[in-house]
Every structure is written in C-alpha cells, then in structure tokens.
Amino acid sequence: MTTNGKAEPRVELADLTAATFEKYTDKAFEVEVDNVKQAVTLVDCTEKPDNMGPDSTRTPFTLMLRAEVDDENPLQHAHSFLCTLRGLEEGEISNLSVERIMRPPRLPGGVYFQVVFG
C-alpha cells in the first residue's frame, strides 16, 4: 500500500507486543483481504501471561476488533481470514490471522474479531 506515493512501512509480526497496541484502544483501523476492506475499531488489547511457554520471546496477547454491521461485506461472514491491518503509526501488518468471535455481552452490538499473538 502506498501513502502519498510512498510505500507504507511494514511491521513484522514477531516485533509486536501488547505495548505496541495499548495506545490505539478505541482507535480506527482497516483490515483488507483481496481488495475487500473493513473499517474496525480496536476495542481491547489484553496480555495473557499464563499462556507463555518456556521458549516464549514475548508475553502472548490478544486484540479484539469491532466493526459496524454490514451484511454486504464478505469479511463479516468469514470465520477466519488472513489480512493486512492498517492504522498503526509504525506501519501496516501483513499476513495477520483474524478470527470472527461472538460479541461479548458487555459490549455494544456489531461484528467482533480476535487476533491472538503467541
């Protein structure tokens, strides 16, 4: 992807930590798969220290993303997909595995997605 004629920098999955995302809670992002785009908001970023293995190089964490309901958007009907995530100052993230999840009861209506970083 280009921004103002310049290629947007890419962020490596291995370099990401929960700290990368904490400042982006309630901020807008865009996911894209094969030219299909979906606006999402980062709802939650949670570290999962109990999921660390003996060889872990970072503390595992999850992201929860929310989108407004749009029955015309095919991403909202997919159980999982690999996408590019845009919206970080650090650059875009490619080959991000995203899962559709049920809406947590405490959160408003919409379509919810989860990303797990081991």
pLDDT at 6 over 70: no
Mean pLDDT of 63-76: 97
Residue 24 burial (10 A CB sphere; 0-12, 13-18, 19+): middle
- Using an 8 Å Cβ cutoff, are 107 and 58 in contact? no
Q: Residue 105: which domain range?
A: 2-117
Judge whether 58 and 47 are in contact, CB under 8 Å: no
Which has more pLDDT, 90 or 7? 90
Total domains in the fold of the chain: 1
pLDDT tens-digit map of 12-69: 999 999 999 999 999 999 999 999 999 999 999 999 999 988 888 889 999 999 999 9
CA atoms of 27 and 17, how far apart (whole Å) = 17
Smallest CA-to-CA distance from 63 within 10, 26, 105 is with: 26
